[in-house]
Amino acid sequence: MHAKSCHTRFCSIWQIKKPCRKKDKPQQENTQAPAAKESPASAEEVDATNTSNVASSGKSWSMQTDGSIDWFRLSPTGKLIAGTNQGLVGIEPNSGKVAWKHEFLKNISRTNYNPISGSPFIAIVTGSIFNMQQVILDVSSGKIIANTTELGMKMVNKRYTVPSLGGILFSGYLNNQPSLVFIDAASGEKKWVLSKVFDSNSEVMAAKPLADGSNTMLIATNKRLYKIDVSSGNVIWKADFKTSIEEGTLATEVAEEVDEKESTKADEKKGGLMKSLGGLAKVPGLGSVGSAAGAANSAGKMGAMGGSMKDGAAVSADAAYGKFLILDNQPNVVYYYSNQQMSAFDRSTGAPVWQTVKFSDPVSQVLYDERGFLIATDDKRADLMLLDYKTGVQKWKPVSLRGRVTALKLKGNSLAIASAKESGNNYINIVDMNSGSTAAKSDMKVSGYVMDIKQNNSGLIYRTDRELNIQDPATGKDVWQKALQYKRGGIGVDKGNKSYFFADNQLYLMDNDSGEYKAISKSLKFGGDETPNAIELREKGILVSSSQNMALFDWEGNLIYNIYQKAPGTSLANKIMNVTAIAVSAGNSASHGFQAGLSGPNTTSYNSNMAASDRWSNIGSAAFSDMKRRFTASQDAKNYKTILTSVDNGEDSGYGLVRVNKDTGKIEGKVVLNDKKPDYISDDTDNLVFLKDGNKNLIGYKL
């Protein structure tokens, strides 16, 4: 999975709706906040930073494709990929020369181009809705790894990767029989074919397979679970377990993140993210992608699905409706869960280890605590339960929550929890992990979206995009009679036992143990009336930024620099889209808010079995070398921010990009794009910019 900065914290924004204020709040009897908000001086909007003294980079290259460019994107190996009406084209980023071209892949929609996570491979869906085929391609060399038509498959309905075995599994029809075909991703060699494995022709694969050693594989269909010896084709064991593919994908399986970048106009023709969220649908024979719990997670992967059934089938080809788990603390057991139920089986025999647990609502979170599986369901009213690893028995009566879980923080045996309802109301409470009892009799309502929650001796600290206060769980009342209230803001980042957060144009510092806070900066209003949406720790202090603004404060709150570049006519629709994308990304998983005590990916109870299964085995290729180089280079790219703005370069002026050093605030690069509505990709890793100029031309710049 692509690495992200651990400093930026958006713990629990869930949806874009107008926050509901508290109503009929009980009379406060507690003390005032330890430190009152300082009255900020009138904040004046900053002037745009002058870029006239920065030299503009000229064109590095210009090239013309044979056909019209429908879309273009940047691959994880650094190659540019262009979909045209004359074929799929790979382009060298430094020279603009055509590296490879496949004419039989012409008019491929961007939705049918599916990058495979953590690899240089892409899967391209071809054919009709009743004759789906797959082409696996190495984007670096252009080599066709596999073509299911050439493999003899008449119909392919599912494709899943098995990284630990270095291969890709196709499910479909071979010689008119339902079959599984496994190919080696390095050579394209057909490693094995299994036919007549499933008991019924109506069975469809429903989850990503899990390799159990080098010769056996766990497979789930909509009706059963199987353990298969792939060397002999024998079924070692099977167990009845229905996985519904009609009620949407598994919310816990966040869409695989790929290190690819689409151009800025990729979503325009089909309506972008907002239309994608509304257009998710059930595909006959393949299942439903995105309904109920899975919608937000599927949106990023689906792109602009629109109404095309073929596009829908392409997206659902590797959708997950269930998940296998093998944990370090129970190595002889394989767990499996779907949106409706969870069970455990003996890894060797398939015999049930504990009775299946049914869920009343779809699963939204499955997390791994030393006490057992912590599971949250997702609907109008959610439940939180704890299942014993060995028996499946619920350790305490399910805790009813008022909405979907959006943030969790563990301190000892106390679990602070935030939830949100579809109406926009947000709630907090504390659950005792040993007993399941809640500190407050009912969830406590707060104003605005919860950005962070913490526990201290006074109660439960909550910071939303509207206020900061502490709730006393025993009384359900705010500890401070007067909360720190602000019109907008609330983003924050932790440094030890301190929190820095930005609200109403000021930087605040809070001691998490005492709850005491103070404004440490002078008032600074972002240019363009933007609201800060990112905060991170830098070596010299705290960086607060938005689309067009950057401000670095030292640890005492003194302003080191601020940069503002005017937005080049960004439409209101685009502004809404940007905010929506942030919300969907930030609210994907409450596990982002987990702290010490709760297990999850990259922890000892989970890591060695599950993380290893997601790592590609040693595939020696130039493409993997390219990916490794770019990953190393991308660490330095995190020290820069690229901003789209209006730039001036003497006689040459117009829309363009500037590259800003986060630590110094210095503008170190500038490119003029000469296009009022540029369709471009900024490669922050290699400091390149690629602009689509007309229907057939691409231009490369060095930023």
User: Residue 253 in contact with residue 320, Cβ under 8 Å?
Assistant: yes
Q: Which helix (H) or strand (E) holds 617?
A: none
Confidence band for 422, pLDDT divided at 50, 70 and 90: confident
Query: pLDDT per residue over 555-604, tens digit each?
Result: 999 999 999 998 886 443 333 333 333 332 333 333 334 433 343 443 44
Distances in Å between the alpha carbon of 558 and those of 73, 284, 554?
41, 60, 5
Three-state DSSP class for residue 660: strand
Residue 263 CA to residue 267 CA, distance in Å, equals 9
Burial label for 9, CB within 10 Å (0-12, 13-18, 19+), is buried
Does residue 398 have a pLDDT over 60? yes
Q: Is 699 exposed, middle or buried (0-12, 13-18, 19+ CB in 10 A)?
A: buried
Question: What are the φ/ψ torsions at residue 615 (nearest 5 degrees)?
Answer: -95, 130
Give the closest residue to 580 by CA, choosing from 14, 21, 20, 4. 14
User: What is the sign of the dihedral through the CA atoms of 168, 607, 337 and 288?
Assistant: negative
DSSP-assigned letters across all residues of 230-290: TTT--EEEEEE----SSS---TTSPPPP-S-EE-TTTTTTTTHHHHHHH---EETTTEE-S
Q: For residues 321 and 172, give the distance between their C-alpha atoms in angstroms, rounded to a whole number.
A: 18
The per-residue pLDDT for 311 is 63
Provide mean pLDDT across the span 58-62: 92
Distances (CA, A) of 308 to 113, 270, 280: 14, 11, 10
| Range among 118-122, 280-284, 649-653 with highest mean pLDDT value | 118-122
Instruction: Please tell me the least confidently modeled range out of 99-108, 148-157, 291-300, 548-557.
Output: 291-300
Around Cβ 248, how many Cβ atoms within 10 Å?
24
Q: Is the pLDDT of residue 272 over 50?
A: no
Is residue 24 pLDDT above 70, yes or no? no
At residue 411, the pLDDT reads: 85
CA torsion 432-436-437-439 (nearest 10°) is: 40
Q: Are 489 and 465 in contact (CB under 8 A)?
A: yes
| Alpha carbon distance 357, 376 (integer Å) | 13
Structure tokens at 28: 């406060």
Residue 275, phi then psi, degrees to nearest 5: -70, -35
- pLDDT surpassing 50 at residue 274: no
Find out whether 621 and 166 touch, Cβ atoms under 8 Å. Answer: no
Mean pLDDT for 158-162 is 92
| Structure-token pair, residue 168 | 């890709």
390: which residues sit within 8 A by CB, 6+ positions away? 330, 353, 354
Supply the DSSP string of 485-526, one letter for each residue.
E-SSEEEEEEETTEEEEEETTEEEEEETTT--EEE-S---BP
Q: What is the average pLDDT across 168-185?
A: 91
**Nearest-angstrom CA–CA distance, 445 and 19:** 12
Lowest-pLDDT choice from 274-288, 609-623, 634-648? 274-288
Least reliable range by pLDDT among 116-125, 300-309, 413-422: 300-309
- For 292, the token pair is 């109920």
pLDDT score of 254 more than 90: no
Residue 203 Ramachandran class (φ > 0 left, ψ -120 to 50 alpha, else beta): beta
Q: 3-state SS of 15-43? A: CCCCCCCCCCCCCCCCCCCCCCCCCCCCC
Q: pTM above the 0.85 mark?
A: no
* Structure token digits, residue 367: 């997390």
Question: Average of pLDDT values for 211-237?
Answer: 92
Please state, in angstroms and as integers, the Cα–Cα distance from residue 540 to each residue in 414, 503, 522, following that order: 35, 21, 18
Print burial letters for 458-490: b (CB count within 10 Å at least 16), e (below 16).
bbbbbbbbbbbbbbbbeebbbbbeebbebeebb
Which of 412, 449, 456, 450 lies closest to 434 in space, CA to CA?
Answer: 412
pLDDT tops 90 at residue 348 = yes
Which of 42-56, 147-161, 299-313 shows the lowest mean pLDDT across its residues? 299-313
The mean of the pLDDT values for the chain is: 80
With a pLDDT cut of 70, the percent of the chain lying above it is: 79
Residue 415 DSSP one-character state = E
Triad 621, 622, 624: Cα angle to 5°: 70
Q: What is the pLDDT of residue 180?
A: 93
Read off the pLDDT of each residue in 406-428 and give the average, rounded to a whole number.
87
pLDDT, tens digit, for every residue of 662-701?
A: 999 999 999 988 777 889 999 999 999 999 999 999 999 9
Decide if pLDDT at 230 tops 50. yes
Output the six-digit token pair for 240.
């009845």
Closest-CA residue to 684 (of 642, 625, 623): 642
